[in-house]
Amino acid sequence: MKKRLDLKAYRDGILSGSRVILSQAITLVESALESDQAIASDLIQSLIAHTGNSIRIGITGVPGVGKSTFIEAFGKILLDQGKKVAVLAVDPSSQLTGGSILGDKTRMENLSSDKRAFIRPSPSGTTLGGVSGKTREAMLLCEAAGFDVILVETVGVGQSETAVKNMVDFFLLLMLAGAGDELQGIKKGIMEMANGLVIHKADGDNLGPAKTAKSNYQNALHLLPLAENNWSPKVILASSVSGDGLDKVWEMIRDFEEKMKAGGFWESNRANQRLDWLNNQIQLLLQQNFLKNPKVKQLIADEKENVQSGRLNPGTLAKNLIDVFLSNQSTT
């Protein structure tokens, strides 16, 4: 295994804007080794004061909607405006092997070759919500490295998208026209979470159907209750091939930022997201310590066959495991 840097080297490298050390630091926070997790935690804490200055944008949509193509074209628009752009692209992991293709970087060849951009593909692993379990940490590291806009591309395979919504400022939903009944093809819940919708690939023969889809979605959004932040999501036509509409997407996001900051929602939303992150970390650490407990491991091994055969109620075993764990904690 490649030797890890010390805390100061990671910190100094990130603050100086080194993309190489930023990449190494993200590898560190994604590591499952306890020694790496300890350094990663200290690193994030040492950089907290240098985070929070970017716009965090989550981008989701069904497979085939062209998320990577959109991000590359949209990222170029941002670079032309003098922004530094980081893309955290999450690839779906195999539930059988745990592996992932990690192909987003090759699909964004032009963007990845620009020194003002940073693209980091990460496996989703077993994390629900279409994001990597360490996306929050990676996002903070990118902010500390000086990136102005963080784009988080989710898996978009029909899982709950609540996870990404709870870590970004703006949640963008990409849609396709002409792929069946659009209003039936997406669940109400994700439309309620979206801050903006983009009808993608709105060019050529698809422009007409895209305009129809835009009208349908606008009508559907009017039926939804107004969000807590009083923002009414907009629907925009865009093409990554022609570039049409991409500037309007950025204008929509900046308009959202201005209104949310003026009303105090921007920071209150981030504050709630930090509490959500805290709760997630507590659950993760409790689960890790629980499953490492020798008595818990032994009881699971002893009763596994009884659960599989149906002789033992999983709920009963779960309660017994908790009792064993708590009893063991009280004697240590």
Q: What is the pLDDT at residue 53?
A: 94
120 or 106, which is more confident: 120
Q: Are 33 and 124 in contact (CB under 8 A)?
A: no
Structural domain count of the chain: 3
Q: What is the pLDDT at residue 242?
A: 95
Judged by phi (left if over 0) then psi (alpha if -120 to 50, else beta), residue 238 lies in beta
| Averaged pLDDT score across all residues of the chain | 86
**Where is average pLDDT lowest: 18-32, 63-77, 212-226, 288-302?**
212-226
Please compute the mean of the pLDDT values over residues 176-185 and round it to a whole number.
58
Question: For 7-16, what is each residue's pLDDT tens digit?
Answer: 999 999 999 9
The tokens of 274 are what?
């930090």
Edge-to-edge strands, sheet with 117-123: 117-123, 85-91, 149-153, 55-60, 170-176, 196-200, 234-237
Report CA-CA distances (Å) from 118 to 70, 89, 105, 250, 288: 16, 11, 10, 19, 32
Q: Which residues contact 116 (CB under 8 A, 6 or more apart)?
A: 79, 83, 84, 85
Q: Are 150 and 54 in contact (CB under 8 A)?
A: yes
Q: Which domain covers residue 305, as residue numbers?
A: 277-330
Q: What CATH number has the domain bearing residue 111?
A: 3.40.50.300
Is residue 292 domain-resident?
A: yes
| Burial group, residue 190, by CB count within 10 angstroms (0-12, 13-18, 19+) | middle
**Where is average pLDDT lowest: 31-35, 262-266, 312-316?**
31-35
**Is the model's pLDDT at 161 over the cut of 60?**
yes
**Where is average pLDDT lowest: 40-49, 58-67, 260-269, 288-297?**
58-67
Q: What CATH number has the domain bearing residue 14?
A: 1.20.5.170
Is residue 271 domain-resident?
A: no
Quickly state the pLDDT bin for 186 (edges 50, 70, 90).
Answer: low
Q: Say if residue 14 is in the same domain as residue 66.
A: no
Please compute the mean of the pLDDT values over residues 60-84 and round it to a whole number.
92
The tokens of 185 are what?
């093809």
Q: What is the pLDDT at residue 219?
A: 86
Question: For 127-144, what is each residue's pLDDT tens digit?
Answer: 433 344 688 999 999 999
Q: What is the pLDDT at residue 160?
A: 45
Quickly state the pLDDT bin for 2 (edges 50, 70, 90).
Answer: low
Is residue 61 domain-resident?
A: yes
Is residue 270 domain-resident?
A: no
Q: Are 149 and 54 in contact (CB under 8 A)?
A: yes
Tell me the whole-structure pTM to 2 decimals: 0.87
Q: CA 16, CA 22: separation in Å to the nearest integer?
A: 10
194 or 330, which is more confident: 194
Report CA-CA distances (Å) from 92 to 8, 156, 163, 207, 215: 33, 9, 15, 30, 32
Q: What is the pLDDT at residue 97?
A: 35
Quickly state the pLDDT bin for 94 (edges 50, 70, 90).
Answer: very low
Q: What is the pLDDT at residue 173?
A: 92
Q: Say if residue 128 is in the same domain as residue 143.
A: yes
Nearest to 188 by CA among 178, 201, 177, 173: 173
